[in-house]
Amino acid sequence: MRTTPWLSFLWPEMLWAMLAVPLLVAGYFWLLSRRKKTSLRYANLGLVRQAMAKTTAWRRHVPPALMLLATIALLFAAARPAAVVTLPTAQKTVVLAIDVSGSMRATDVKPNRITAAQEAAKTFVAELPRSVRVAVVSFAGTAAVVQAPTLSRDDVYAAIDRFQLQRGTATGSGIVLSLATIFPDAGIELSHITGARNMPPQPGDKPKQEFTLVEPGSYASAAIIMLTDGQRTTGPDPLDAAKMAAERGVRVYTVGIGTKEGETIGFEGWSMRVRLDEDTLKNIADRTRADYFYAGTAEDLKKVYQSLSTRLVVERKETEISALFALFGALLLVSAAGLSVWWFGRAA
């Protein structure tokens, strides 16, 4: 594939046909010179000048010029150009996976991390198209589906308001349960990426189903947005969970909130050391072809969710635009023929 700064060509070999353009130009001027000699041979010079005055000289060059531009446009179309354009996205389900560990009580993000997260998440949901289903997964020491995928924004708001803070941070569990929410019939279990995968099946376990590996980030019908303020303390490795998402083509956008450097947070008679594991969050996003965002304040968090809302409504992707060049070429041809008939009474 041949590329330019803004175009790529799926059939670049056709660009060699552009070498015919200078030949067409040379042929046109040769015909003009030949016609001029013939006119001077068989007509009085004064009559020729009079005829030239009656028909503005520049007009006779306009239709051929338009036909030349039409030829160039059609040759570009034949080379099948592609460009990165902004198109409506096909997202149908968004899963909000939100950390509800005890450290979300911290007040470094005003009024506190969990309240800021709840308000920003609800604003984000309100800005999504009404056709997009939203699910909510909370995770701390374990993960739980707080709201199954739904079109009801009121149900989603109520689910977000029901968050109960707990101990532990199982980011991997949050991703796996989000995948199970997106693919409810795929038999996705935490045991598939933990040490339990080598244990015999237990009563009530869903059978693991085979699936076809796809390109990371290629699944356009759903996405996961995970917000957390700390590093994993329990549960499966989040990078293993990210691998599961990547293998199924699901993007996992990660949002880090809180203290990057780490600090000791105390409440209800006990304290814990928390640190935002940005490296892991960046790796999760990178593996799934998504993006990582850091929100140090409540206002930053709102801006992050606004950005995510835009990304999930529209997306930039490489798209073949041959039809546009073909249409432009056809319009030029019609214009050339129309002007020729109007000015000279003939189409050529």
Whole-number pLDDT of residue 35 = 67
Q: What is the pLDDT of residues 10-58, one digit of tens each?
A: 888 888 888 888 888 887 777 777 766 565 555 555 555 555 555 566 7
Q: What is the pLDDT of residues 165-193, one digit of tens each?
A: 998 899 999 999 999 999 998 888 776 56
| CA distance linking residue 120 with residue 42, whole number of Å | 84
267 pairs with which residues across the strands?
270
CATH topology of domain 89-198+206-296: Rossmann fold (3.40.50)
What radius of gyration, in Å, describes the C-alpha atoms of the chain? 32
Strands (E), the chain: 2-3, 8-9, 81-88, 93-99, 133-139, 143-150, 222-228, 251-257, 263-267, 270-274, 292-295, 314-320
User: Is the model more confident about 200 or about 255?
Assistant: 255
Question: What is the sign of the dihedral through the CA atoms of 284, 130, 184 and 148?
Answer: positive
Whole-number pLDDT of residue 258 = 80
Domain ranges, ordered by start, for the chain: 2-85+320-344, 89-198+206-296
| CA distance linking residue 332 with residue 324, whole number of Å | 12
| CA distance linking residue 76 with residue 247, whole number of Å | 37
The highest-confidence range among 106-110, 215-219, 333-337, by mean pLDDT, is 215-219
Mapped onto helix, strand or coil, the DSSP state of residue 17 is helix
Do strands 8-9 and 2-3 pair parallel, antiparallel, or not at all (unpaired)? Answer: antiparallel
Do strands 93-99 and 222-228 pair parallel, antiparallel, or not at all (unpaired)? Answer: parallel
What are the structure tokens assigned to 180, written together?
Answer: 């199970």
Taking a C-beta distance cutoff of 8 angstroms, is the pair 106, 48 a contact? Answer: no
Q: What is the pLDDT of residues 95-118, one digit of tens each?
A: 999 999 988 888 888 888 899 999
Mean of per-residue pLDDT scores for the chain: 81
Whether the pLDDT of residue 92 is over 90: the answer is no
Whether the pLDDT of residue 87 is over 60: the answer is no
* DSSP state, residue 113: H
The highest-confidence range among 112-121, 188-197, 199-208, 211-220, by mean pLDDT, is 112-121
| Alpha-carbon torsion angle 280, 96, 216, 151, nearest 10 | 180
Whether the pLDDT of residue 245 is over 80: the answer is yes
| CA distance linking residue 104 with residue 320, whole number of Å | 46
Whole-number pLDDT of residue 297 = 81
- Roughly what angle, to the nearest 10 degrees, separates helices 238-247 and 278-287? 10
CA angle 224, 123, 120 (to 5 degrees): 70
Q: What is the pLDDT of residues 111-151, one digit of tens each?
A: 888 999 999 999 999 988 888 899 999 999 999 999 999 99
* DSSP state, residue 166: B
User: Is the model more confident about 196 or about 138?
Assistant: 138
